């Protein structure tokens, strides 16, 4: 027996406790990189242009001055610079607790029609997504233990795919649920990007240091929708732009994971985004006029502006992505799920006028240069309708 559909039925998010203003992070970077007054002014201008107000990190150092660091050496030049091993130690300590907070947020908002909370023992599969840390036995096993799930819970780890990793986690969950209608899949993205600060002054590294942050997100995917709201996974489309292969990359070096993110990325995306989304819409039997809301991965301000230019959108269409970028920065794979959660919490406003079902177009980008996209069909009902659904369920149970 196969299911004809799969649904996102809950979304949860979490960020570390260290919330650091973008201006304060810029001061840390200027001090760490030994910048003179002129370069500090240029760096401050770059940070202002990001449209990020604050970011979160598992490391408190970015809010401190030399002499107060707990992870980086309190020396000029931060020498000896932290190794991969030192960074992965922090990842092992911090990733799963942050992921669990996102999972708890996800499950806490899921109420059954009779008003009961979600029974986590229903979870049959765990899919973990991360590109900022690796170890085994890994987060998937630790999450199962923390949630008190049986050892028979099936696991899948999706690693090192960058900002589009959540799409592959969701596609895997979609395939599982369609082939096993009784499956309940929890997809968990956790990224600690700030562990991988690189002490380099070239523009690409300065840009990476200005954007990335830490965060986690979780989505619950099932074969049937919730009574009050859900997002049906309607279609997916992926494409590669080899011309941008060298412009976005992610390599493990002796001193952390090193991101290559050149200023050419928006131009490469501009060349391919229109064709990719046209093919996605064609696959779905839709036109751009059928899209009611947008959940774009806010990889950076310029990327969002390029998407708007290619699709004929404005800032208001991308308002959820801009708000996530402003509050949290780029949290790699978890970021697009923050955008979807913002739409989830605001469905009545996100939906076109007088509609309770609408399509969401979502996409993200990563090494390759990879373009991932999907269309979701969001459905919600008002408070009166939810009450009616609950009454129907109670009547059925009485009978």
Q: What pLDDT score does 396 carry?
A: 31
Domain boundaries, the chain: 229-383
pLDDT value at residue 382: 57
In the chain, which residues have pLDDT < 70? 1, 113, 382-399
The active-site residue out of 106, 131, 163, 193 is 163
- Residue 349's pLDDT is 85
For 34-59, how does the pLDDT look when each residue is reduced to its tens digit (9 = 90+)? 999 999 999 999 999 999 999 999 99
Position 368 scores a pLDDT of 86
229-383 CATH fold: Peroxisomal Thiolase; Chain A, domain 1 (3.40.47)
- Has 163 been annotated as catalytic? yes
Would you state the pLDDT for residue 391? Answer: 38
Average pLDDT of every residue of the chain: 91
3-state SS track over the chain: CCCCCCEEEEEEEECCCEEEEHHHHHHHHHHHCCCCHHHHHHHHHHHHHCCCCEEEECCHHHHCCCCCCCCCCCCHHHCCCCCHHHHHHHHHHHHHHHHHHHHHHHHHCCECCCCCECCHHHCCEEEEEECCCCCCCCHHHHHHHHHCCCCCCEEEEEECCHHHHHHHHHHHHHHHHHHCCCCCEEEEEEEEHHHHCCCCCCHHHHHHHHHECEEEEEEEEECCCCCCEEEEEEEEEEEECHHHCCCEEEEEECCEEEEEECCCHHHHHHHHHHHHHHHHHHHHCCCHHHEEEEEECCCCHHHHHHHHHHHCCCCCCCHHHHHHHHHHCECHHHHHHHHHHHHHHCHHHHCCCCCCEEEEEEEEEECCCEEEEEEEEEEECCHHHHHHHHHHHHHHHHC
The pLDDT, as a whole number, for residue 399 is 29
């Amino acid at each position: 027996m196969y299911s004809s559909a799969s649904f996102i039925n809950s979304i949860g998010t979490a960020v570390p406790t260290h919330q650091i203003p973008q201006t304060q992070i810029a001061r840390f970077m200027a001090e760490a990189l030994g910048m003179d007054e002129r370069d500090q002014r240029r760096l401050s201008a770059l940070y202002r242009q990001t449209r990020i107000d604050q970011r979160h990190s598992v490391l408190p150092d970015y809010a401190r001055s030399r002499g107060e660091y707990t992870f980086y050496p309190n020396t000029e030049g931060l020498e000896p610079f932290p190794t991969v091993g030192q960074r992965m130690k922090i990842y092992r300590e911090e990733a799963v607790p942050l992921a669990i907070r996102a999972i708890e947020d996800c499950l806490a908002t899921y109420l059954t029609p009779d008003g009961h909370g979600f029974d986590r023992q229903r979870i049959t599969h765990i899919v973990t997504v991360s590109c900022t840390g690796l170890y085994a036995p890994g987060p998937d096993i630790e999450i199962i233990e923390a949630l008190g799930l049986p050892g028979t819970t099936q696991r899948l780890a999706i690693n090192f795919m960058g900002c589009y990793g959540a799409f592959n986690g969701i596609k895997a969950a979609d395939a599982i649920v369609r082939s096993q209608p009784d499956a309940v899949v929890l997809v968990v993205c956790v990224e600690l990007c700030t562990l991988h600060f690189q002490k380099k002054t070239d523009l690409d590294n300065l840009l990476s240091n200005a954007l990335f942050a830490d965060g986690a997100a979780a989505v619950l995917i099932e074969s049937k929708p919730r009574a009050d709201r859900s997002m049906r996974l309607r279609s997916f489309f992926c494409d590669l732009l080899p011309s941008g292969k060298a412009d976005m990359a992610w390599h493990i070096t002796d001193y952390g994971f090193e991101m290559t993110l050149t200023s050419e990325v928006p131009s490469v995306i501009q060349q391919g985004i229109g064709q990719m989304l046209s093919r996605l819409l064609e696959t779905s039997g839709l036109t751009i006029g059928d899209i009611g809301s947008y959940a774009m991965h806010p990889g950076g301000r310029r990327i969002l502006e390029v998407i708007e230019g290619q699709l004929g959108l404005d800032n208001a269409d991308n308002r959820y992505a801009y708000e996530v970028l402003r509050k949290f920065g780029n949290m790699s794979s978890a970021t697009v799920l923050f955008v979807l959660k913002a739409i989830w919490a605001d469905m009545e406003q996100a939906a076109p006028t007088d509609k309770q079902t609408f399509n969401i177009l979502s996409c993200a980008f990563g090494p390759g240069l990879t373009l991932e996209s999907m269309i979701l069909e969001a459905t919600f009902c008002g408070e009166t309708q939810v009450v009616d659904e609950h009454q129907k369920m109670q009547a059925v149970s009485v009978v």
